[in-house]
Amino acid sequence: MSEDKGSFGVHGTGDTSGYSGLVRAQVTPGSSERPFGGYFDEVADDLERAFPAFSEAIEKIVVDRGELTLFVKRSHLVETALALRNTETLRFEMCMGVNGVHYPEDAGRELHAVYALLSLTHNRRIRIEVAVPDSDPHLPSLVEVWGGINWHERESYDMFGIIFDGHPGLTRILMPDDWQGHPQRKDYPLGGIPIEYKGATIPAPSERRSYQ
């Protein structure tokens, strides 16, 4: 996912060990192998049965910390969502919203949209994740599938600049209408100001020395 180098408050390599050994690579969990455990196998099997394009649509299935994540290609997002909602054995009738995550180092897949789904019928939770490139941040809107995602998609647009095609009114929701930029992206500064005290200044929170 990202790479941390060096020690406290140092930019550049900052390696004082002399061995260039102070480099830790961070990786997100990769694709999981069957059996996934719990109801996850059932969910995957049922989706595969109900959804012919399963192998094309699903990039990978990750089971991590007792949670199932389906990585879906954006071209198949709406069909996957409909299958998850309509299939009797799946019945994810509630979507708890969509949330953007920005990975600037993940080239070609910078913006992730993460959907949390809930099935009241079967009392299950899963997650869908879709990645889009920063240069073409378009995703099909799921408002037609789950009406309650309307504001969540507007928020993800407002904060991350992900454009949901087909949304009935994709406008800013939290920031003022004339705001420039999308504040919760990693390349958008926190925007704090230095704090002045009598005889001393403390830099803005994003400018302070910090541990990586």
Please give the residue ranges that form the binding site for another protein (CB under 8 A).
Answer: 1-2, 4, 8, 24, 26-29, 64-67, 69, 93-97, 99, 101-102, 114, 116, 118, 120, 123, 125, 127, 146-152, 155, 172-176, 183-184, 188-193, 195-201, 204-206, 210-212
Distances (CA, A) of 45 to 50, 52, 117, 186: 9, 12, 17, 37
Q: How far is the CB of 129 from another protein (least distance, A)?
A: 9
Residue 128 · residue 69 · CB < 8 Å:
yes
| Closer Cβ to another protein, 89 or 184, answer by number | 184
| Closer Cβ to another protein, 42 or 93, answer by number | 93
Helix (H) / strand (E) containing 152: helix 150-160
One-letter identity of residue 150: N
Classify burial at 171, counting beta carbons within 10 Å of its beta carbon; exposed 0-12, middle 13-18, buried 19 or more: exposed
Q: How far is the CB of 142 from another protein (least distance, A)?
A: 11
| Closer Cβ to another protein, 24 or 34, answer by number | 24
Q: How far is the CB of 53 from another protein (least distance, A)?
A: 25
Report the C-alpha gap between 13 and 147 in whole angstroms. Answer: 48
Q: Are strands 94-102 and 67-72 parallel, antiparallel or unpaired?
A: unpaired
Q: How far is the CB of 102 from another protein (least distance, A)?
A: 8
Residue 89 · residue 42 · CB < 8 Å:
yes
Report the C-alpha gap between 87 and 89 in whole angstroms. Answer: 6
Q: How far is the CB of 6 from another protein (least distance, A)?
A: 13
The full length of the chain comes to: 212
Q: How far is the CB of 190 from another protein (least distance, A)?
A: 5
| Closer Cβ to another protein, 19 or 211, answer by number | 211
Phi/psi at 127 (5° precision)? -135, 140
| Closer Cβ to another protein, 74 or 183, answer by number | 183
| Closer Cβ to another protein, 16 or 123, answer by number | 123
